[in-house]
Structure 1
Amino acid sequence: MKRYLVLENGSVYTGEGFGSTKPVTGELVFNTGMTGYQESITDLSYHGQILTFTYPLVGNYGINRDDFESFKPAATAIVTHEIARRPSNWRSQMSIAEWAERNDLPGITGVDTRALTKELRDYGVLKATLVDEVTEDTVANLKAQTLSSNQVAEVGSKNMYVNPTDGVTIAMIDFGLKNSILRALARRNANVMVFPATVDAKTILDAAPDGVLLSNGPGDPESVEGIQEVIRELEEQLPLMGICLGHQLFALANGAKTKKMKFGHRGFNHAVKDLQTGKTNFTSQNHGYMVDGDSIPGTDLEITQYEINDESVEGLRLKNHQAFSVQYHPDAAPGPHDAEYLFDEFLAMAAKHKEEQTHA
């Protein structure tokens, strides 16, 4: 089944379709990871995006029940050079093509994904569409389409729920969280209360948590309405940690600015330098926006980490507060676990706050 990937700059890539045959449009991005395709496809930070895998073979270990970051595919469609016809792994339950068909996920294979990635590096991210035929109006229609701007509202939790244990209580604001963050906290016996992105500060404070975690999520941080004042109120009273989109919202709430990147960071080998320890960690990243480093001076924020390759802001701390954030995913899934210690540091801050409140 021949299908076409058409970019808004007029480029056309031909391949074979698999999964759903519906036409789709989204922001075309690429991921440089060699593994972790299942986690990436179900990562809600990819909501509204057509995901290109730079590694030539995708699906070689199949799809299993344990590696989902959300219940359904988050990416709008996937682009591959080759998909494995016969996956081999003791956990595998089905092939990626079978899973895509069951979950109405469009895919295209047989594409020169290396050439496509080079084009995206030159042009930056582009709108793209996946269609069965190309007409003289395809590119014009693509250019005329407007992509969703408030993606957090489309994927975040609508109701509060609890992942209970007997440890310190963490209030997590869900902007499109990955299951791996819940798993990382569960391994540390944290009692997690998950709140929707529309929550107000009073609701969280009335629940009496010991700390607040701002989750990852998709889209432009400036499109998330009403959350900056909530963050400012919470950070005055509770230890706070931000991850990915949560890092950007933390920055905005404290006077910094964010900006869209040319083609983003999406992969599992980004080297990050910690200015406090002098160590360099390899990290898992998935974001198309970044904190503008030039906007930090004059705020109460302090840069704690930066990306080795492009020197973008990877970590922030709020002076005289128990509040910090990182642009990458310390939960990894997939990726290196160099930065998992950040959860331990955050939970230690929450435990200390709990003890202080108990003896106050």
Structure 2
Amino acid sequence: MQEINKDSPSAEWISAIRQRFTVEKEIDHILTRKLERRSGPGYSPVTLASLVQSVESLLRTEIGDTFEIKDTRWLSGGASKLQMAFTLEWNRPGAGFENTAMVLRMEPAESIVETSRLREFQLLKACEAVVPVPSVFWCDAQARHLPYPALIYGFAPGVTKPSNASSGVSGLATHLPELVRNGLAPQFVANLAAIHLHDYRNADLSAFDVPRIGTTQCAEWGIDHWDRIWEEDSDEDIPLMRVVSAWLRRNMPLLDRASIVHSDYRTGNFLFTEHDLKISAWLDWELGRIGDRHQDLAWTTNRAFGHLDEDGKTFLVCGLMPEAQFFEQYEKASGMPVSARTVHWYKIYNSYSIAVLTLATGYRIARNGKTHQDVMVTWLIGIGYMILEEVRTLIAMEN
């Protein structure tokens, strides 16, 4: 059998991969683009000055010459993307001259999660009047101005955790005081229900395909997405990954309602203002899709995102509330049922996706020097085998 050089894939191999897996059109576009540019140079540091020049080029195209960029600085957070904060002095339509705090969110050469800035832009725009999100302004989806695809949105006030709280990487296992939990938990549930209930049909979501209700198409697209990335990025065959993929295909749930799915709905991905405990913005929509609400429910209740209550016994979903209470309040707020079986399927699906990203993509981009987060990505590879054990345990629960 001919050995495939995944670091410099041939056009024929890329074509075969595309034909083998059925994914949404925009997903196919970004994954194909990733492969086509993989043999190119790795990540090299980008200076603030060069980014400002690129943003100026974009803004001249969008709004003309009457603006000034000030107060540029790097932002932490959003671990898979490069982020620059700045202030734009401009003549804002309908508001006149003002100083607007903004954020540039841009890809590195390759990311641990390869996603579409256009899809992220469209989802934020679609949800502006539904839940708190940053205002979105411009998107350079094809990197005509920026070094890599990027979007620009408004800077949102708030914090991801109280100043005296502890958390792990990317907001994992954030420990919230009881007073903070009580203030945030009802909003947390209400916002999720609002996202899933939102009638998105009048929004511009042209970068999304909509799965057919009453079929397994939503589940099939998702499995094909992660199976394709595994084939593109992995460097060793892990039999359990094949077992998990086959199990997912044998047990695909039917879609009963097509909803906007955030796909990373958890503590650490929303901001809140400390003085009044109000959620001020939902962030990191890059993996969002139109699909099954149970994907969010399964992700949000993952034990990695929560912790035990002060009693040392009760697990708190995202550090906010017991799981039974979370599902009960969600059903009440949304008016939609929660299928325990479908949640279980998506728990396995979600864990499979994390295993793909850590064991395949994380390894490849770190080895090839494609990301600004090589140290963190290398660290994440180590949790991949813990995720595999979690998947094995979840599947064993079915037997």
User: TM-score, normalised to structure 1's length?
Assistant: 0.30
Q: Give 1 or 2: higher helix fraction.
A: 2
Q: Give 1 or 2: higher strand fraction.
A: 1
Name which structure has the greater RCO, CA cutoff 8 Å, separation 6+: 2
